Amino acid sequence: MRWWLHPSWSPEPPNQRFAMFNSRIETVLTSRAFQGPVRHRRAIIPVSGFVEFKTQGKQKQPFYVQAASGEALAVAAMWECWQNQVWSTTMITQAASVSFAEVHDRMPLSLNAEQVARWMNPEEDVKNLLQELRGQSAELHWCPVDPRVNNARNKEGVVFI
């Protein structure tokens, strides 16, 4: 799947002009691009961790973020297919928890096993479900990584500091 959602109804082929890498839980039900997917094409993106950047002075410091438990995160997501050619996805984000706000103002909507089952159940009322899930998240742990993690010329992988 392509990492940003491209609406099935778009007359234009996928491009980065309206890149929708993430979708905000606050507007997912009102955005034309997300209304269909959130009701009918929900998904889970399993992630072992992700990199988030915090501006410190004039530099962006990357942090590797993972569940404090060390287990994979199950992130609420949606998918779409454009003209039976391009499959795309987006993850749902929400305001950061108090502890994570020191790194970034947004965070993924991560779900536990019971919440995953409800998220994937097409019988669930998505409006009520989103209200219940808002603010939910696995406890996150983060550590700084070498700034080269953001450099495409770096072929060494993630370097922990």
Tell me the CATH number at 61.
3.90.1680.10
| pLDDT tens, residue by residue, 107-129 | 999 999 999 999 999 999 999 99
Q: Does residue 10 fall inside a structural domain?
A: no
Q: Does residue 17 fall inside a structural domain?
A: no
Provide the residue count of the chain. 161
Give the integer Cα–Cα distance in Å for 90 and 86. Answer: 13
Instruction: Determine the pLDDT at residue 56.
Output: 83
Number of domains composing the chain: 1
Q: Does residue 14 fall inside a structural domain?
A: no
pTM of the model: 0.88
Give the integer Cα–Cα distance in Å for 159 and 102. Answer: 21
Cβ atoms 62, 144 nearer than 8 A: yes
Instruction: Determine the pLDDT at residue 92.
Output: 97
The first and second tokens of residue 12, run together, are 């234009």
Question: Which structural domain range is residue 111 located in?
Answer: 22-150
Amino acid at 143: C
Q: How many CA atoms lie within 13 A of 137 on its CB side?
A: 23
Q: With bands split at pLDDT 50, 70 and 90, how would you rate the model's confidence at 18? A: low
